[in-house]
Chains A and B, each alone.
Chain A
Amino acid sequence: MDRISPFYRLLVFIMLVAGVLLADGILSNLIIICSIALLIALSSISRKGLFLPVYKLRHFLLLIFLLNALFSDEGTLFEFFIFRVSLSGILRALLIVYRMALITLIAYLYTSSSSINEINESLYILLYPLKLLFVPVDMLSSALSLSLRLIDDFLLESERLKKVRQLRRIGKSDTLKEKILDYKAIVIPIFIMAFKRADELSLSLESRGYSAKMRLRRDYLKLGIKELISVLLAITILVFMISGGII
Protein backbone atom coordinates (compact mmCIF):
# COMPACT_ATOMS: atom_id res chain seq x y z
CA MET A 1 0.00 0.00 0.00
CA ASP A 2 2.81 2.40 0.86
CA ARG A 3 4.29 1.76 -2.60
CA ILE A 4 1.44 3.42 -4.49
CA SER A 5 1.35 7.16 -5.24
CA PRO A 6 0.53 9.21 -2.08
CA PHE A 7 -2.46 10.87 -3.77
CA TYR A 8 -4.14 7.58 -4.72
CA ARG A 9 -3.25 6.24 -1.27
CA LEU A 10 -5.19 9.15 0.26
CA LEU A 11 -8.15 8.46 -2.07
CA VAL A 12 -8.19 4.78 -1.07
CA PHE A 13 -8.09 5.63 2.64
CA ILE A 14 -10.87 8.24 2.30
CA MET A 15 -13.07 5.73 0.46
CA LEU A 16 -12.34 3.14 3.14
CA VAL A 17 -13.39 5.56 5.92
CA ALA A 18 -16.59 6.31 3.98
CA GLY A 19 -17.07 2.54 3.64
CA VAL A 20 -16.75 2.08 7.42
CA LEU A 21 -19.41 4.75 8.01
CA LEU A 22 -21.76 3.30 5.36
CA ALA A 23 -21.31 -0.40 6.21
CA ASP A 24 -24.62 -1.82 7.37
CA GLY A 25 -24.93 -5.51 8.06
CA ILE A 26 -22.61 -8.45 8.68
CA LEU A 27 -21.47 -8.95 5.05
CA SER A 28 -20.59 -5.25 4.54
CA ASN A 29 -18.62 -5.15 7.78
CA LEU A 30 -16.82 -8.40 6.93
CA ILE A 31 -15.77 -6.87 3.61
CA ILE A 32 -14.46 -3.75 5.39
CA ILE A 33 -12.49 -5.81 7.93
CA CYS A 34 -11.04 -7.99 5.12
CA SER A 35 -10.06 -4.84 3.17
CA ILE A 36 -8.24 -3.39 6.20
CA ALA A 37 -6.52 -6.73 6.79
CA LEU A 38 -5.47 -6.74 3.12
CA LEU A 39 -4.10 -3.18 3.47
CA ILE A 40 -2.05 -4.23 6.51
CA ALA A 41 -0.77 -7.33 4.70
CA LEU A 42 0.22 -5.33 1.60
CA SER A 43 1.96 -2.53 3.51
CA SER A 44 5.46 -2.64 4.92
CA ILE A 45 4.33 -0.99 8.19
CA SER A 46 5.57 -2.76 11.30
CA ARG A 47 2.82 -5.04 12.69
CA LYS A 48 4.16 -4.39 16.19
CA GLY A 49 2.17 -1.65 17.86
CA LEU A 50 -0.39 -1.56 15.06
CA PHE A 51 -3.28 -1.50 17.52
CA LEU A 52 -1.55 0.83 19.97
CA PRO A 53 -3.53 3.95 18.86
CA VAL A 54 -6.80 2.07 19.42
CA TYR A 55 -5.49 0.78 22.78
CA LYS A 56 -4.53 4.34 23.80
CA LEU A 57 -8.15 5.37 23.24
CA ARG A 58 -9.53 2.48 25.34
CA HIS A 59 -10.80 4.69 28.18
CA PHE A 60 -12.42 7.09 25.75
CA LEU A 61 -14.01 4.23 23.77
CA LEU A 62 -15.30 2.69 27.01
CA LEU A 63 -16.78 6.04 28.01
CA ILE A 64 -18.50 6.45 24.62
CA PHE A 65 -19.85 2.89 24.96
CA LEU A 66 -21.23 3.55 28.45
CA LEU A 67 -22.76 6.91 27.50
CA ASN A 68 -24.61 5.30 24.59
CA ALA A 69 -25.50 2.05 26.31
CA LEU A 70 -26.70 3.41 29.65
CA PHE A 71 -28.87 6.32 28.53
CA SER A 72 -31.22 4.91 25.92
CA ASP A 73 -34.92 5.69 25.73
CA GLU A 74 -35.93 3.06 23.18
CA GLY A 75 -37.27 -0.25 24.50
CA THR A 76 -35.73 -0.10 27.98
CA LEU A 77 -34.78 -3.57 29.31
CA PHE A 78 -34.22 -2.44 32.90
CA GLU A 79 -33.55 0.73 34.87
CA PHE A 80 -31.40 1.45 37.90
CA PHE A 81 -30.59 4.79 39.52
CA ILE A 82 -30.41 7.25 36.56
CA PHE A 83 -29.45 4.57 34.00
CA ARG A 84 -31.73 3.03 31.37
CA VAL A 85 -30.35 -0.03 29.61
CA SER A 86 -31.83 -1.29 26.36
CA LEU A 87 -30.77 -3.82 23.75
CA SER A 88 -30.90 -1.21 20.96
CA GLY A 89 -28.75 1.14 23.09
CA ILE A 90 -26.11 -1.56 23.66
CA LEU A 91 -26.07 -2.46 19.95
CA ARG A 92 -25.77 1.22 18.95
CA ALA A 93 -22.95 1.73 21.46
CA LEU A 94 -21.09 -1.31 20.11
CA LEU A 95 -21.49 -0.04 16.53
CA ILE A 96 -20.15 3.44 17.42
CA VAL A 97 -17.14 2.03 19.30
CA TYR A 98 -16.43 -0.47 16.50
CA ARG A 99 -16.55 2.28 13.86
CA MET A 100 -14.33 4.61 15.91
CA ALA A 101 -11.77 1.85 16.45
CA LEU A 102 -11.69 1.02 12.72
CA ILE A 103 -11.36 4.70 11.70
CA THR A 104 -8.53 5.18 14.24
CA LEU A 105 -6.78 2.13 12.79
CA ILE A 106 -7.24 3.39 9.20
CA ALA A 107 -5.95 6.87 10.18
CA TYR A 108 -2.92 5.25 11.85
CA LEU A 109 -2.23 3.14 8.77
CA TYR A 110 -2.38 6.21 6.56
CA THR A 111 -0.23 8.50 8.75
CA SER A 112 2.39 5.76 9.26
CA SER A 113 2.65 5.03 5.54
CA SER A 114 2.87 8.71 4.47
CA SER A 115 5.24 11.54 5.35
CA ILE A 116 3.85 14.93 6.35
CA ASN A 117 4.88 16.34 2.96
CA GLU A 118 3.10 13.52 1.13
CA ILE A 119 -0.08 14.11 3.14
CA ASN A 120 0.17 17.85 2.56
CA GLU A 121 0.77 17.56 -1.20
CA SER A 122 -1.94 14.90 -1.63
CA LEU A 123 -4.48 17.06 0.21
CA TYR A 124 -3.43 19.97 -2.00
CA ILE A 125 -4.19 17.94 -5.16
CA LEU A 126 -7.49 16.75 -3.70
CA LEU A 127 -8.61 20.27 -2.82
CA TYR A 128 -7.11 21.86 -5.98
CA PRO A 129 -10.50 22.17 -7.84
CA LEU A 130 -11.66 24.51 -5.03
CA LYS A 131 -9.15 27.05 -6.37
CA LEU A 132 -11.75 27.85 -9.03
CA LEU A 133 -13.96 29.12 -6.20
CA PHE A 134 -11.07 31.26 -4.90
CA VAL A 135 -10.57 28.99 -1.87
CA PRO A 136 -6.97 29.30 -0.53
CA VAL A 137 -6.17 25.64 -1.11
CA ASP A 138 -2.45 25.99 -0.17
CA MET A 139 -3.34 27.25 3.27
CA LEU A 140 -6.21 24.84 3.78
CA SER A 141 -4.19 21.73 2.91
CA SER A 142 -1.26 22.86 5.10
CA ALA A 143 -3.57 23.52 8.06
CA LEU A 144 -5.40 20.22 7.58
CA SER A 145 -2.25 18.08 7.39
CA LEU A 146 -0.61 19.90 10.32
CA SER A 147 -3.67 19.56 12.53
CA LEU A 148 -3.84 15.81 11.79
CA ARG A 149 -0.29 15.57 13.09
CA LEU A 150 -0.86 17.86 16.08
CA ILE A 151 -3.88 15.86 17.30
CA ASP A 152 -1.55 12.99 18.30
CA ASP A 153 0.70 15.36 20.29
CA PHE A 154 -2.20 17.10 21.97
CA LEU A 155 -3.80 13.76 22.89
CA LEU A 156 -0.83 13.11 25.19
CA GLU A 157 -1.38 16.56 26.72
CA SER A 158 -5.05 15.75 27.22
CA GLU A 159 -4.02 12.66 29.23
CA ARG A 160 -2.09 15.03 31.49
CA LEU A 161 -5.16 17.27 31.54
CA LYS A 162 -7.26 14.30 32.70
CA LYS A 163 -4.90 13.73 35.63
CA VAL A 164 -4.96 17.44 36.51
CA ARG A 165 -8.74 17.32 36.32
CA GLN A 166 -8.83 14.43 38.76
CA LEU A 167 -6.49 16.28 41.10
CA ARG A 168 -8.55 19.43 40.89
CA ARG A 169 -11.79 17.47 41.34
CA ILE A 170 -13.36 18.97 38.22
CA GLY A 171 -16.83 17.60 37.65
CA LYS A 172 -17.23 17.24 41.41
CA SER A 173 -17.37 20.95 42.19
CA ASP A 174 -20.84 21.99 43.27
CA THR A 175 -21.50 25.57 42.19
CA LEU A 176 -21.18 27.08 38.71
CA LYS A 177 -18.59 29.53 40.07
CA GLU A 178 -16.38 26.67 41.28
CA LYS A 179 -16.82 24.87 37.96
CA ILE A 180 -15.77 27.98 36.02
CA LEU A 181 -12.68 28.50 38.19
CA ASP A 182 -11.68 24.82 37.85
CA TYR A 183 -12.18 24.92 34.11
CA LYS A 184 -10.20 28.16 33.73
CA ALA A 185 -7.24 26.69 35.64
CA ILE A 186 -7.04 23.76 33.24
CA VAL A 187 -7.88 25.28 29.89
CA ILE A 188 -5.51 28.28 29.99
CA PRO A 189 -2.33 26.10 30.20
CA ILE A 190 -3.60 23.96 27.31
CA PHE A 191 -3.96 27.03 25.06
CA ILE A 192 -0.59 28.41 26.18
CA MET A 193 0.97 25.04 25.32
CA ALA A 194 -0.73 24.97 21.89
CA PHE A 195 0.39 28.52 21.02
CA LYS A 196 3.94 27.80 22.25
CA ARG A 197 4.09 24.70 20.02
CA ALA A 198 2.81 26.79 17.10
CA ASP A 199 5.41 29.48 17.84
CA GLU A 200 8.31 26.99 17.91
CA LEU A 201 7.07 25.18 14.82
CA SER A 202 6.64 28.37 12.80
CA LEU A 203 10.13 29.57 13.80
CA SER A 204 11.74 26.33 12.67
CA LEU A 205 9.70 26.17 9.46
CA GLU A 206 10.41 29.79 8.53
CA SER A 207 14.13 29.39 9.21
CA ARG A 208 14.09 26.51 6.70
CA GLY A 209 12.46 28.78 4.11
CA TYR A 210 9.00 27.21 4.32
CA SER A 211 6.21 29.18 2.73
CA ALA A 212 2.58 28.15 2.45
CA LYS A 213 2.76 28.43 -1.36
CA MET A 214 2.63 24.98 -2.89
CA ARG A 215 3.05 23.58 -6.38
CA LEU A 216 0.94 20.86 -7.96
CA ARG A 217 2.87 17.55 -7.90
CA ARG A 218 1.86 16.09 -11.26
CA ASP A 219 3.95 12.96 -10.62
CA TYR A 220 1.51 12.08 -7.81
CA LEU A 221 -1.26 11.89 -10.43
CA LYS A 222 0.53 9.27 -12.58
CA LEU A 223 -1.80 6.27 -12.71
CA GLY A 224 0.17 3.01 -12.76
CA ILE A 225 -1.17 -0.53 -12.58
CA LYS A 226 -0.83 -0.66 -8.74
CA GLU A 227 -2.72 2.61 -8.35
CA LEU A 228 -5.43 1.53 -10.80
CA ILE A 229 -6.08 -1.79 -9.02
CA SER A 230 -6.16 -0.14 -5.55
CA VAL A 231 -8.54 2.66 -6.59
CA LEU A 232 -10.84 0.29 -8.52
CA LEU A 233 -11.02 -2.05 -5.52
CA ALA A 234 -11.81 0.86 -3.18
CA ILE A 235 -14.50 2.18 -5.57
CA THR A 236 -16.07 -1.31 -5.83
CA ILE A 237 -16.22 -1.58 -2.01
CA LEU A 238 -17.71 1.92 -1.72
CA VAL A 239 -20.36 1.27 -4.41
CA PHE A 240 -21.23 -1.98 -2.63
CA MET A 241 -21.70 -0.08 0.65
CA ILE A 242 -23.75 2.72 -0.98
CA SER A 243 -26.04 0.15 -2.64
CA GLY A 244 -26.65 -1.28 0.86
CA GLY A 245 -24.93 -4.56 0.03
CA ILE A 246 -27.54 -5.45 -2.63
CA ILE A 247 -25.04 -5.92 -5.48
Chain B
Amino acid sequence: MTNVKKIIITAALSALCVILPMAFHAIPNAGILISPMHIPAFIAGLTIGPFYGLIVGLLGPFLSSLITGMPAFSYMPQMMIELASYALFAGIFMRLIHTYNYMADLYLSLVFSMIAGRIVAGVCRALFFASGSYSFNAWLASYFVSTWPAIIIQLVVIPAIVFALEKANLIEKRY
Protein backbone atom coordinates (compact mmCIF):
# COMPACT_ATOMS: atom_id res chain seq x y z
CA MET B 1 0.00 0.00 0.00
CA THR B 2 1.42 3.39 -1.00
CA ASN B 3 1.86 6.29 1.40
CA VAL B 4 -0.68 8.39 -0.51
CA LYS B 5 -3.31 5.67 -0.13
CA LYS B 6 -2.50 5.32 3.56
CA ILE B 7 -2.93 9.09 4.04
CA ILE B 8 -6.29 9.04 2.25
CA ILE B 9 -7.48 6.06 4.31
CA THR B 10 -6.32 7.96 7.43
CA ALA B 11 -8.47 10.91 6.31
CA ALA B 12 -11.45 8.68 5.48
CA LEU B 13 -11.33 6.88 8.85
CA SER B 14 -10.93 10.20 10.70
CA ALA B 15 -14.04 11.42 8.85
CA LEU B 16 -15.87 8.23 9.91
CA CYS B 17 -14.96 9.05 13.53
CA VAL B 18 -17.18 12.13 13.07
CA ILE B 19 -19.94 10.51 10.99
CA LEU B 20 -20.55 7.22 12.86
CA PRO B 21 -21.30 8.82 16.26
CA MET B 22 -23.62 11.31 14.53
CA ALA B 23 -25.51 8.49 12.87
CA PHE B 24 -25.76 6.29 15.94
CA HIS B 25 -26.47 8.83 18.67
CA ALA B 26 -30.13 8.62 17.65
CA ILE B 27 -30.18 5.17 19.29
CA PRO B 28 -30.72 5.45 23.06
CA ASN B 29 -27.44 4.81 24.99
CA ALA B 30 -25.58 4.22 21.69
CA GLY B 31 -22.47 5.91 23.10
CA ILE B 32 -22.06 3.21 25.77
CA LEU B 33 -23.68 0.36 23.86
CA ILE B 34 -21.75 0.73 20.60
CA SER B 35 -18.88 3.23 21.17
CA PRO B 36 -18.98 4.03 17.45
CA MET B 37 -15.88 6.24 17.41
CA HIS B 38 -13.67 3.37 18.63
CA ILE B 39 -14.32 1.25 15.54
CA PRO B 40 -12.54 3.43 12.90
CA ALA B 41 -9.55 3.76 15.27
CA PHE B 42 -9.19 -0.03 15.66
CA ILE B 43 -9.72 -0.56 11.91
CA ALA B 44 -6.97 2.01 11.21
CA GLY B 45 -4.47 0.24 13.45
CA LEU B 46 -5.30 -3.18 12.02
CA THR B 47 -5.26 -2.17 8.34
CA ILE B 48 -2.81 0.71 7.83
CA GLY B 49 -0.43 0.18 10.72
CA PRO B 50 0.39 1.76 14.11
CA PHE B 51 1.65 5.12 12.89
CA TYR B 52 -1.31 6.02 10.68
CA GLY B 53 -3.63 4.46 13.27
CA LEU B 54 -2.20 6.80 15.88
CA ILE B 55 -3.02 9.77 13.62
CA VAL B 56 -6.64 8.53 13.20
CA GLY B 57 -6.92 8.12 16.98
CA LEU B 58 -5.76 11.70 17.53
CA LEU B 59 -7.58 13.37 14.63
CA GLY B 60 -10.95 11.59 15.03
CA PRO B 61 -12.00 12.89 18.48
CA PHE B 62 -10.45 16.31 17.72
CA LEU B 63 -12.49 16.76 14.53
CA SER B 64 -15.64 15.31 16.08
CA SER B 65 -15.38 17.60 19.10
CA LEU B 66 -14.78 20.63 16.86
CA ILE B 67 -17.58 19.88 14.42
CA THR B 68 -20.30 18.21 16.48
CA GLY B 69 -19.33 19.06 20.07
CA MET B 70 -19.08 15.31 20.88
CA PRO B 71 -17.05 14.48 22.93
CA ALA B 72 -17.22 17.65 25.03
CA PHE B 73 -14.08 19.80 24.69
CA SER B 74 -12.99 19.01 28.26
CA TYR B 75 -13.29 15.25 27.64
CA MET B 76 -11.55 15.39 24.23
CA PRO B 77 -7.89 14.94 25.40
CA GLN B 78 -8.80 11.75 27.32
CA MET B 79 -10.66 10.42 24.32
CA MET B 80 -7.74 11.27 22.01
CA ILE B 81 -5.30 9.37 24.22
CA GLU B 82 -7.67 6.38 24.53
CA LEU B 83 -8.36 6.06 20.81
CA ALA B 84 -4.74 6.74 19.80
CA SER B 85 -3.60 3.97 22.20
CA TYR B 86 -6.12 1.49 20.79
CA ALA B 87 -5.04 2.18 17.22
CA LEU B 88 -1.32 2.23 18.04
CA PHE B 89 -1.42 -1.07 19.94
CA ALA B 90 -3.70 -2.71 17.35
CA GLY B 91 -1.12 -1.84 14.67
CA ILE B 92 1.84 -2.99 16.78
CA PHE B 93 0.23 -6.32 17.76
CA MET B 94 -0.88 -6.93 14.16
CA ARG B 95 2.79 -6.63 13.15
CA LEU B 96 4.04 -8.82 15.98
CA ILE B 97 1.47 -11.63 15.89
CA HIS B 98 1.73 -14.16 13.06
CA THR B 99 -0.21 -17.37 13.72
CA TYR B 100 -0.74 -18.07 9.99
CA ASN B 101 -4.47 -17.82 10.65
CA TYR B 102 -5.86 -14.41 9.70
CA MET B 103 -8.83 -14.49 12.07
CA ALA B 104 -6.63 -15.58 14.99
CA ASP B 105 -4.22 -12.71 14.26
CA LEU B 106 -7.11 -10.25 14.16
CA TYR B 107 -8.73 -11.45 17.38
CA LEU B 108 -5.48 -11.65 19.34
CA SER B 109 -4.38 -8.17 18.19
CA LEU B 110 -7.80 -6.75 18.97
CA VAL B 111 -8.05 -8.23 22.47
CA PHE B 112 -4.48 -7.26 23.42
CA SER B 113 -4.90 -3.73 22.05
CA MET B 114 -8.22 -3.32 23.92
CA ILE B 115 -6.47 -4.26 27.18
CA ALA B 116 -3.31 -2.21 26.50
CA GLY B 117 -5.32 0.84 25.37
CA ARG B 118 -7.51 0.70 28.48
CA ILE B 119 -4.42 0.47 30.70
CA VAL B 120 -2.83 3.53 29.02
CA ALA B 121 -6.11 5.48 29.19
CA GLY B 122 -6.56 4.54 32.86
CA VAL B 123 -2.98 5.49 33.78
CA CYS B 124 -3.36 8.85 31.99
CA ARG B 125 -6.63 9.49 33.80
CA ALA B 126 -5.07 8.62 37.15
CA LEU B 127 -1.98 10.76 36.55
CA PHE B 128 -3.32 13.79 34.64
CA PHE B 129 -7.08 14.06 34.21
CA ALA B 130 -8.47 12.89 37.56
CA SER B 131 -5.33 12.94 39.67
CA GLY B 132 -5.96 11.82 43.25
CA SER B 133 -9.63 10.99 42.74
CA TYR B 134 -9.28 7.97 40.47
CA SER B 135 -9.23 4.40 41.74
CA PHE B 136 -8.72 0.89 40.36
CA ASN B 137 -12.43 0.15 40.92
CA ALA B 138 -13.42 3.27 38.99
CA TRP B 139 -11.15 2.14 36.13
CA LEU B 140 -12.72 -1.33 36.10
CA ALA B 141 -16.22 0.12 36.19
CA SER B 142 -15.71 2.72 33.46
CA TYR B 143 -13.61 0.64 31.04
CA PHE B 144 -15.00 -2.88 31.51
CA VAL B 145 -18.28 -3.10 33.46
CA SER B 146 -20.27 -0.27 31.88
CA THR B 147 -18.83 -0.81 28.41
CA TRP B 148 -19.16 -4.60 28.13
CA PRO B 149 -21.81 -4.40 25.34
CA ALA B 150 -19.44 -2.18 23.30
CA ILE B 151 -16.57 -4.66 23.87
CA ILE B 152 -18.68 -7.57 22.58
CA ILE B 153 -19.97 -5.56 19.60
CA GLN B 154 -16.42 -4.51 18.72
CA LEU B 155 -15.11 -8.09 19.01
CA VAL B 156 -17.79 -9.24 16.57
CA VAL B 157 -17.90 -6.31 14.18
CA ILE B 158 -14.24 -5.25 13.76
CA PRO B 159 -12.78 -8.59 12.53
CA ALA B 160 -15.81 -8.91 10.21
CA ILE B 161 -15.10 -5.47 8.71
CA VAL B 162 -11.37 -6.17 8.22
CA PHE B 163 -12.16 -9.56 6.73
CA ALA B 164 -14.70 -7.98 4.34
CA LEU B 165 -12.15 -5.34 3.31
CA GLU B 166 -9.61 -8.05 2.54
CA LYS B 167 -12.18 -10.06 0.57
CA ALA B 168 -13.03 -6.94 -1.46
CA ASN B 169 -9.29 -6.47 -2.21
CA LEU B 170 -9.31 -3.04 -0.57
CA ILE B 171 -6.43 -3.92 1.75
CA GLU B 172 -3.39 -6.13 1.18
CA LYS B 173 -3.72 -9.89 1.69
CA ARG B 174 -1.86 -11.01 4.83
CA TYR B 175 -1.27 -14.66 3.92
With CB as the reference atom, state the residue of chain B lying closest to A139.
B7
> B139-154 vs A: 1/0 string, CB under 8 Å?
0000000000100110
> B20-42 vs A: 1/0 string, CB under 8 Å?
10110111101001100001000
CA distance A180 to B154 in the complex (A): 9
CA distance A196 to B12 in the complex (A): 10
Shortest CB–CB separation between residue B5 and chain A, in angstroms? 4
Q: Inside 8 A of A191's CB, which chain B residues have their CB?
A: 16, 43, 161, 164-165
Q: Inside 8 A of B96's CB, which chain A residues have their CB?
A: none
Interface status of B63 (Cβ within 8 A of chain A): yes
Interface status of A195 (Cβ within 8 A of chain B): yes
Interface status of A146 (Cβ within 8 A of chain B): yes
CA distance A176 to B12 in the complex (A): 29
Q: Inside 8 A of A199's CB, which chain B residues have their CB?
A: 5, 170
Q: Inside 8 A of B168's CB, which chain A residues have their CB?
A: 192, 195-196
Contact of A142 among B7, B19, B23, B165 (CB under 8 A): B7
| Given A100-B69, A170-B27, A191-B164, A183 and B15 contact (CB-CB distance below 8 Å) | no
Interface status of A232 (Cβ within 8 A of chain B): no
Contact of B55 among A100, A139, A155 (CB under 8 A): A139
Q: Are A176 and B164 in contact (CB under 8 A)?
A: no
> A183-203 vs B: 1/0 string, CB under 8 Å?
110011011101111110110
| Given A198-B9, A202-B5, A212-B4, A103 and B67 contact (CB-CB distance below 8 Å) | yes
Interface status of B135 (Cβ within 8 A of chain A): no
Stretch among A29-37, A157-165, A222-230 lining the B interface: A157-165
| Given A192-B164, A195-B171, A147 and B12 contact (CB-CB distance below 8 Å) | yes
Query: Count of A residues near B, CB < 8 Å?
Result: 56
Q: Inside 8 A of A38's CB, which chain B residues have their CB?
A: none
* Secondary structure class of chain B's binding surface, majority of residues: helix
Shortest CB–CB separation between residue B136 and chain A, in angstroms? 27
| Given A147-B14, A151-B19, A192-B170, A162 and B26 contact (CB-CB distance below 8 Å) | yes
> Which residues in window 117-171 of B have CB below 8 A to A?
149, 152-153, 156-157, 160-161, 164-165, 168, 170-171
Q: Are B157 and A180 in contact (CB under 8 A)?
A: yes
Interface status of A46 (Cβ within 8 A of chain B): no
Interface status of B73 (Cβ within 8 A of chain A): yes
| Given A143-B59, A162-B23, A205-B8, A179 and B33 contact (CB-CB distance below 8 Å) | yes
Interface status of B92 (Cβ within 8 A of chain A): no
CA distance A194 to B2 in the complex (A): 17
Contact of A151 among B4, B43, B63, B69 (CB under 8 A): B63
CA distance A54 to B92 in the complex (A): 40
Q: Inside 8 A of B68's CB, which chain A residues have their CB?
A: 60, 100
CA distance A104 to B68 in the complex (A): 9
Q: Are A150 and B27 in contact (CB under 8 A)?
A: no
Q: Inside 8 A of A147's CB, which chain B residues have their CB?
A: 10-12, 14-15, 18, 59, 63
Interface status of B99 (Cβ within 8 A of chain A): no
Shortest CB–CB separation between residue B157 and chain A, in angstroms? 5
B interface residues, Cβ below 8 angstroms from A: 2-5, 7-16, 18-20, 22-23, 25-28, 30, 33-34, 39, 43, 55, 59, 63, 66-69, 73, 149, 152-153, 156-157, 160-161, 164-165, 168, 170-171
Given contacts A60-B68, A139-B55, 6 further A-B contacts (CB under 8 A): A103-B66, A142-B11, A144-B63, A165-B23, A183-B157, A188-B160
A interface residues, Cβ below 8 angstroms from B: 17, 21, 60, 63-64, 67, 96, 99-100, 103-104, 107, 139-140, 142-148, 150-151, 153-155, 157-158, 161-162, 165, 170-171, 176, 179-180, 183-184, 187-188, 190-192, 194-199, 201-202, 205-206, 210-212
